[in-house]
Amino acid sequence: MSAQHYNHLANERTAAQRAEFNAWIRSHTPEQIRIANNARMNLKRRLAAGQPVKILSRNLRKLDDDRQVKRPLTGFLRFSLERVASGDFTSIALGEKAKLIGEEWKALSAAEKEVWT
């Protein structure tokens, strides 16, 4: 058999596993997924701190659920994204760009910042 055939089989198996996982995620409420993610984060912290933890698996990755409510963007983040999208900082390094945008934000009055929130 050719490598192309095995790649095809692997892609099919991956797609089936992804569909099975998504069905499993959907069998739980978003609140249950949120609680499970919080528990996973707590276990991760305890393992990193060297505390004894009894778990069956070391797979403590966050469970991705597209039904979770996303936090709204802050005014500063909205301002930053628009400033970067304007193209004024194209040839400037990331650190310098962040510093300049931060200085621009600090220079805005409260009324001007209100537009972004």
DSSP of 89-114: TTTS-HHHHHHHHHHHHHHS-HHHHH
- Nearest by Cα to 102 from 90, 89, 111: 89
pTM for the predicted model, two decimal places: 0.58
**Same domain as 48, residue 90:** no
Which is nearest to 53 in space by CA: 72, 32, 39?
Answer: 39
Quote the domain boundaries for residue 65: 1-70
pLDDT in tens, 20-75: 999 999 999 999 999 999 999 998 888 888 887 777 677 788 998 988 888 899 99
Are 61 and 94 members of one domain?
Answer: no
- In this structure, the answer to whether residues 85 and 101 fall within a common structural domain is yes
Q: What is the pLDDT of residues 88-102, one digit of tens each?
A: 888 889 999 999 999
Cα 43 to Cα 48: distance, rounded to the nearest angstrom: 9
Q: Are residues 56 and 90 in the same domain?
A: no
The larger pLDDT score, comparing residue 110 to residue 69, is at 110
Residues 10 and 65 in one domain: yes
| Other Cβ atoms closer than 10 A to 76 | 16
Which residue in the block uniquely carries the two structure tokens 């972004």? 116
**Same domain, yes or no: 63 and 7:** yes
Domain total in the chain: 2
Pair 66, 104 in one domain: no
